[in-house]
Amino acid sequence: MRARTHTITAPSVDVIAECVHAAVQAPSIHNTQPWRFEAHGRDIDVYADRSRQLSVLDPSGRQLLMSVGAAVFNLRLALFVHGRMPVQRLLPDPARPDLVARVSAGPTTVAASTAQILAAAIPHRHTNRFPFQPAAIPWPVLDELIGAATAEGATLNHAEPVVRDAILAVTRTADDRFRARTDYQAELAAWTSTAPDRRDGVPADVCGPTDLAYRLPLREFCPPVHQATFERHPALMILATRGDTPYHWLRAGEALQRVLLTATARRLDASPLNQALEIPGLRRLVTDQSAGRYAQTILRMGYGGPVPATPRRPLAEVLQTGGSPP
Ligand SMILES: Cc1cc2nc3c(=O)[nH]c(=O)nc-3n(C[C@H](O)[C@H](O)[C@H](O)COP(=O)(O)O)c2cc1C
């Protein structure tokens, strides 16, 4: 009797396009969208696009890789809800460090309901830089967010009031330092988009107001047009990983996206507040190396109003299909 073999088929071109479309909805530093995808057979290779790296803000490429990690998480999720078990390998080829992930379509499966909920949240997640309501985040929701980070190998800590105030103080220091630098301002201006047909960068309608009390130093993408009163006691969450290598940065991005989608599914909004992590001396203050925890992002979370979506580059610019395996 001949043994029956099960061949795992390649997803259709349409399924690949839908999965990559989901991937590119991920957040990225300054909406740089620093990614590229190549599909061949069952594999989708994800590349970091170094031409989109922020040389002033992100010379190590840490936040670039976090952005790509967030896209890889969406890609895995989309494959899963399309009925294929995603199998991911991060940094699969040491000779090609910009090939940051290979996500393969594994055997057919039925996605768990949590995955369905997270995938449904992808188009509704937007960075919200507007004031939030004063309402506290309920404990069960905080627990879910912490669970989301843990599931991707990271930790998430809700900053207690004294830590929160210290973080806000160092973030203000970092923000003042950056704003005094012309190279930072030039880089920010280059990624702040005013042209209506531009498909990357941060558009003016999502910039948000400045805090009347200058307590909450959100990154000022656009020249300040108006001021507003923000929540007095912002909820800050620190996402950290147990190492600080390119691998950990990718995992941090996956964890970030899982946390953000979990938040969106609970109608919770978020905006990163990362200036303090972009100055090594200040990042060390937020990092707990003795516990092996490296701060990767600080999130302000709360309940806000609707915000518009930011643009994305067309798929044709970032996806190549049908090539032979490298
Ligand atoms: C690694 C990373 C760091 C970010 N840092 C900041 C930040 O410090 N301040 C901020 O306002 N937004 C920050 N963002 C949010 C991006 O600006 C945002 O994702 C991008 O403009 C796309 O918009 P969207 O999130 O609404 O899709 C960050 C996003 C990522 C992935």
The CATH number of residue 54's host domain is 3.40.109.10
Contact 103, 88 (CB under 8 A): yes
Q: What is the DSSP letter of 25?
A: T
Q: How far is the CA of 273 from the centre of ligand 1 (A)?
A: 9
Flag whether 2 is in a domain.
no
CA distance 239 to 264: 17
Q: What is the pLDDT of residue 7?
A: 85
Which has the minimum average pLDDT: 1-15, 131-145, 171-185, 254-268? 1-15
Q: Are residues 199 and 109 in the same domain?
A: no
| Total domain count, the chain | 2
CA distance 49 to 61: 10
Determine what percent of the chain falls in helix, strand and coil, rounding each to the nearest 5: 40, 20, 40
Residue type, 306: P
Q: What is the pLDDT of residue 326?
A: 57
* Cα→Cα distances 108→7, 78, 90, 260, Å: 11, 13, 22, 27
Q: Could you identify the atom of ligand 1 that is nearest to the CA of residue 206?
A: 26
Flag whether 130 is in a domain.
no
CA distance 73 to 262: 13
- Model confidence at 312: pLDDT above 70: yes
For residue 305, report the phi and psi dihedrals to the nearest 5 degrees.
-90, -175
Q: What is the pLDDT of residue 194?
A: 77
271 pocket-lining for ligand 1 (C-beta < 6 Å): yes
- Model confidence at 4: pLDDT above 80: no
Mean pLDDT of 128-138: 96
Q: Are residues 156 and 68 in the same domain?
A: no
Flag whether 134 is in a domain.
no
Q: Are residues 144 and 279 in the same domain?
A: yes
CA distance 237 to 225: 28
Q: Are residues 120 and 75 in the same domain?
A: yes
Q: What is the pLDDT of residue 323?
A: 64
Mean pLDDT of 194-206: 92
Q: What is the pLDDT of residue 224?
A: 80
Flag whether 6 is in a domain.
no
Query: Residues 195, 300, 265, CA angle at the centre, nearest 5°?
Result: 85
Q: What is the pLDDT of residue 5?
A: 55
Q: Are residues 317 and 280 in the same domain?
A: no
- Domain range for 271 is 139-302
62 pocket-lining for ligand 1 (C-beta < 6 Å): no
- Model confidence at 3: pLDDT above 80: no
Neighbour-count burial for 108-124, b at 16+ CB within 10 Å, e otherwise: eeebeeebeebbebbee
Q: Are residues 75 and 58 in the same domain?
A: yes
Q: How far is the CA of 124 from the centre of ligand 1 (A)?
A: 15
Strands 319-321 and 294-302 come out as unpaired
Q: Tokens representing 100?
A: 């940051």
At residue 72 the predicted structure's pLDDT band, cuts being 50, 70 and 90, is very high
Which has the minimum average pLDDT: 198-202, 212-216, 300-304? 212-216
69 pocket-lining for ligand 1 (C-beta < 6 Å): no
Q: Are residues 60 and 155 in the same domain?
A: no
Mutate to test the pocket of ligand 1, among 56, 67, 124, 127 (most ligand atoms within 8 A of CB): 127
Q: Are residues 108 and 224 in the same domain?
A: no
Flag whether 8 is in a domain.
no
Query: Residues 295, 296, 301, CA angle at the centre, nearest 5°?
Result: 95
Q: How far is the CA of 204 from the centre of ligand 1 (A)?
A: 14
Contact 48, 98 (CB under 8 A): yes
Mutate to test the pocket of ligand 1, among 24, 25, 29 (most ligand atoms within 8 A of CB): 29
Flag whether 133 is in a domain.
no
The count of other CB atoms within 10 Å of the CB of residue 44 is: 27
